[in-house]
């Protein structure tokens, strides 16, 4: 569920911002969601979007710790920002610099040792306290670090999200943290224990998002299908039950959830894929490896056969479901035969898209101290082989859409003038020439051509549709 490139956050505009905020986001969708929520927390203080970093009174770097290069990126970006901060100071302006997210949680005050010009370091669980941290940093003139796992939930202290004018698609965090402790992964340490938001809070936020223009909501969690939140009338709900309730919200036509763990794909959730038309036929279900010895060493607590069975049952419930996954190659002790088993599994399942990574030792995780680390060159060779296969599968899957009419949710302008863009039910990007007035609507698009990562389509409206557009 990673977003590979840093992206400036889109947040609700403040009419006349007193101060300008620039947020850079790395990592998973949860970080993208957190960035918008940090902007929501700061809006009442008069912060609105900055046109550029140079123009910002405050910069927040929302970081990811999942692989080594993610951490390196932070320090190179900080070096660049230091020069911007100095230039602003020379011109008589200030710039508060905050490091948030999973590197902040893992490294804490160590960040200040390497980058003493940082003003605020805050973990993913404390961003509701940002206004106090800013006040303290400004008053005391020294850095503030808050990487606690506080007893109160940040979700109870955030302003209502989603001012009018939000996009057609939105993220909604329903679960956070992880108790699975896969032996390669930092998430249980940076995000803390598994916690589920109550159903009523999720439903209220979903209604607010729909009122602001969202037609598609993606429920987020590090282990989203482990969600078991308090039900509105007491007791607990499962994710399948929550999805059923969300599907009843008028105007909410598309639902997705990510990231799921194979162990928590229960019967009710699999059945929901066959029962709820709003639940999109696309599921990101990380498998990591196709070899049982490696899955066991990774502490995944499922076998390759378990994964195949889940996919079979999902396809039985929803025959057109498209699958995505995460793979790690070169996990300590992975033999050529283990890697071959991963290729076999990928070939058998046939993924619509997938992410694959070289194993990256993370300090403090059990796998990092394993003796049988795989040489870098071998990891690179395996990754290239797997990525070739996965790219071919994605191209084939895209090519199979040509000639079909797909429901496309139009999310914004396209790459070229006169073009608009949206997403298919299978989460493919679709570009087409059609009026911008269609942004925010779901329309039937005939797919004319397929590229490696996107589709091109044509809209043939009926006279009524044409008039309405
Ligand atoms: N909660 C999700 C994934 C979270 S991290 C799950 O259970 O699958 C996203 C992906 O990053 C993982 O699925 C894994 O493929 C990859 N990843 C995590 N730690 C890694 C590491 N140390 N080295 C390489 N890839 C890693
Ligand atoms: Fe990491 Fe495993 Fe938890 Fe996913 S399930 S977040 S890979 S520890
Ligand atoms: Fe990265 Fe933290 Fe997400 S480590 S992948 S930002 S949970």
> What are 377-436's pLDDT values in tens digits?
999 999 999 999 999 999 999 999 999 999 999 999 998 899 999 999 999 999 999 999
Residue 456: how many CA atoms within 13 Å on its side-chain side?
9
Q: Is 427 helix (H, G, I), strand (E, B) or coil?
A: coil
pLDDT at 163: 52
Q: How far is the CA of 181 from the centre of ligand 2 (A)?
A: 6
Pairing status of strand 144-146 against strand 120-122: parallel
pLDDT at 154 (0 to 100): 83
* pLDDT at res. 97: 97
- The distance from CA 239 to its chain's CA centroid, rounded to whole angstroms, is 18
Average pLDDT, the chain: 93
CATH of domain 19-146: 3.40.50.12160
From 124, 147, 125, 120, select the one nearest 135 (Cα to Cα): 120
Lowest mean pLDDT among 123-132, 141-150, 172-181, 232-241: 141-150
Q: How far is CA 261 from CA 288, 301, 376, 382, in A?
A: 11, 10, 28, 24
Q: Which atom of ligand 2 is nearest to the CA of 299?
A: 2
**Which segments of the chain belong to CATH 3.40.50.12160?**
19-146
pLDDT at residue 467, as a whole number: 82
Alpha carbon separation from 366 to 70, 108, 149, 186, 327 (Å, rounded)? 19, 21, 22, 10, 18
Bond preceding residue 349 cis, omega within 30 of 0: no
Q: Which two tokens stand for residue 384?
A: 């290239």
**DSSP 8-state class, residue 363:** T
CATH T-level assignment (fold) for domain 155-399: pyruvate-formate lyase- activating enzyme (3.80.30)
Bridge partner residues of 63 (DSSP): 101
- What residue spans in the chain does CATH classification 2.40.50 cover? 405-468
Q: For residue 243, what pLDDT is reported?
A: 98
pLDDT, average across residues 180-209: 96
In angstroms, rounded to a whole number, what is the distance separating the alpha carbons of residues 418 and 421? 10
Question: Which comes out higher in pLDDT, residue 344 or 17?
Answer: 344
- The preferred substitution site among 26, 102, 106, 185 for testing ligand 1, maximizing ligand atoms within 8 Å of CB, is 185
| Residue 286 Cβ contacting ligand 1 at under 6 Å | yes
Residue 90 in this model has a pLDDT that exceeds 90 = yes
Q: Which of 67-71, 99-103, 287-291, 332-336 has the lowest mean pLDDT?
A: 67-71
Q: What is the mean pLDDT of residues 80-98?
A: 95
CATH of range 405-468; options 1.10.1740, 2.40.50, 3.30.2290, 3.40.50:
2.40.50
| pLDDT (0 to 100) of residue 5 | 43
């Amino acid at each position: 569920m990673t977003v590979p490139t840093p992206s400036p956050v889109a947040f609700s505009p403040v009419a006349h911002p007193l101060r300008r905020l620039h947020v850079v986001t790395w990592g998973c969708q949860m970080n993208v969601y957190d960035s918008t929520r940090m902007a929501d927390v700061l809006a009442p203080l008069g912060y609105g979007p900055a046109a550029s970093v140079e123009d910002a009174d405050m910069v927040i770097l929302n970081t990811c710790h999942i692989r080594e290069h993610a951490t390196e990126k932070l320090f190179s970006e900080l070096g660049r920002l230091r020069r911007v901060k100095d230039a602003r100071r020379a011109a008589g302006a200030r710039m508060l610099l905050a490091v948030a997210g999973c590197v902040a949680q893992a490294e804490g005050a160590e960040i200040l040792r390497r980058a003493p010009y940082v003003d605020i370091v805050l973990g993913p669980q404390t961003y509701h306290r940002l206004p106090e941290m800013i006040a303290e940093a400004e008053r005391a003139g020294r850095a503030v670090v808050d990487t606690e796992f506080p007893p109160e939930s940040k979700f109870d202290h955030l302003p209502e999200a989603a001012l009018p004018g939000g996009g057609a698609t939105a993220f909604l965090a329903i679960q956070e943290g992880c108790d699975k402790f896969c032996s390669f992964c930092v998430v249980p340490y940076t995000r803390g224990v598994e916690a589920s938001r109550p159903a009523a809070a999720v439903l209220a936020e979903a209604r607010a998002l729909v009122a602001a223009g969202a037609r598609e909501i993606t429920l987020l969690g590090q282990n989203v299908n482990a969600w078991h939140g308090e039900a509105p009338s007491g007791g607990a709900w499962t994710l399948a039950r929550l999805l059923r309730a969300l599907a009843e919200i008028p105007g909410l036509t598309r639902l997705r959830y990510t990231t799921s763990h194979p162990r928590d794909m229960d019967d009710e959730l699999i059945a929901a894929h066959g029962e709820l038309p709003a639940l999109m036929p696309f599921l990101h279900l990380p498998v990591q490896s196709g070899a049982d010895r490696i899955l066991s060493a990774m502490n995944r607590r499922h076998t390759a056969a378990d994964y195949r069975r889940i996919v079979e049952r999902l396809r039985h419930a929803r025959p057109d479901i498209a699958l995505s996954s995460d793979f790690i190659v070169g996990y300590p002790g992975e033999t050529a035969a283990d890697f071959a088993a991963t290729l076999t599994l990928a070939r058998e399942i046939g993924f619509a898209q997938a992410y694959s990574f070289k194993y990256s030792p993370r300090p403090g995780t059990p796998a990092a101290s394993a003796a049988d680390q795989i040489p870098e060159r071998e990891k690179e060779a395996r990754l290239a082989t797997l990525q070739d296969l996965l790219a071919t599968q994605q191209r084939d899957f895209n090519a199979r859409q040509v000639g079909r009419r797909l429901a496309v949710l139009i999310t914004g302008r396209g790459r070229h003038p006169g073009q608009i863009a949206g997403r298919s039910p299978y989460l493919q990007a679709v570009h087409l020439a059609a009026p911008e007035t269609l942004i925010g609507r779901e329309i039937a698009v005939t797919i004319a051509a397929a590229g490696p990562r996107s589709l091109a389509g044509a809209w043939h409206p009926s006279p009524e549709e044409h008039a309405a557009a």
